[in-house]
Amino acid sequence: MNGCSLAQRLDGRTALVTGSTSGIGRAIAIAFAAEGAHVAVSGRDDARGAATVAAIREAGGRADFVRADLGASADAARALAGEGTRALGGRVDVLVNNAGIFPSAPTAEVDQATFDSVIATNVRGPFFLVAALAPSMAERGSGVIINIGSWISTIGLSSGALYGASKGTLEALTRGWAAEFGRSGVRINAIAPGVTLTDGTAHLQDHTRAMVDATPAGRFGTPEDVAAAAVYLASDDASFMHGSTLLIDGGALTTRA
């Protein structure tokens, strides 16, 4: 991997990927490392974190695990920014705000604990990570932040109002942060994945199969589909991209059969 003679798009960069013990985040961490980045893998689960790091190292890449519970507090996000920076040798070039939870329930059945944990994990964690890391990126005059939104921020789904609102907020923050930090050389964009098969969504497969079958792609998304978009946004190929949300959904939102 790192011995490859082909140019690697993230050679010499460092990247902190939240929620990279599983699913989309894991695929992004592996794809970034394959492109030459030193990756800080993060999540709450030590065993799955170690497994992601081992997979990257076995392929010849560089990775370290930094444990964090982003649902806990703003301080937990600040601590991850500090520990991630140390693990990466003093600098985070790319931050991916991927960690997220997506409980689905009718509004009248959402209790306060669920409401607070969705907003804490999907919005507060990214907010304080950006607050901790974007200013130093701006001082250096370069950096990339990628927020993982969702197709569900654009359309209403019954039983998905709270989750959709959390992802819509993250996509709105993406535009605000692009305005705030973009002129200092920090590129901030989002990716809105469609239905993507991961550990977290395996139970939704039967429920969404008919909708997915009717899309132009005609299949579920894979974590690697989303990771390919993240590599693009992290790389200099996307140097003209600021404040955008890339829809990677197989055409689910933009077409009808």
Catalytic residue annotation: 163
* Choice between 143 and 164, CB closer to ligand NAP: 164
* Choice between 143 and 149, CB closer to ligand NAP: 149
Q: How far is the CB of 257 from ligand NAP (least distance, A)?
A: 20
Q: How far is the CB of 179 from ligand NAP (least distance, A)?
A: 23
Of how many residues is the chain composed? 257
Is the Cα dihedral 170, 26, 66, 35 positive or negative? Answer: negative
Half-sphere exposure of 245 (CA within 13 A, CB side): 24
Q: Report which DSSP code applies to 109.
A: G
* Choice between 1 and 72, CB closer to ligand NAP: 72
The C-alpha atoms of residue 157 and residue 244 are separated, in whole angstroms, by 23
The contact set with ligand NAP (CB under 6 A) reads: 18-25, 43-45, 48, 68-71, 98-102, 121, 148, 150, 193, 195-196, 198-201
**Hey, what are 88's tokens?**
């990466």
The 10 Å Cβ neighbour count of residue 177 is: 23
The C-alpha atoms of residue 164 and residue 154 are separated, in whole angstroms, by 8
Q: How far is the CB of 193 from ligand NAP (least distance, A)?
A: 4
* Choice between 200 and 251, CB closer to ligand NAP: 200
The C-alpha atoms of residue 206 and residue 105 are separated, in whole angstroms, by 17
* Choice between 8 and 77, CB closer to ligand NAP: 77
- E strand spans, the chain: 14-17, 38-43, 62-67, 94-97, 143-148, 186-193, 245-248
Q: How far is the CB of 65 from ligand NAP (least distance, A)?
A: 10
Secondary-structure breakdown of the chain: helix, strand, coil percentages, each rounded to the nearest 5: 50, 15, 35
Q: How far is the CB of 239 from ligand NAP (least distance, A)?
A: 25
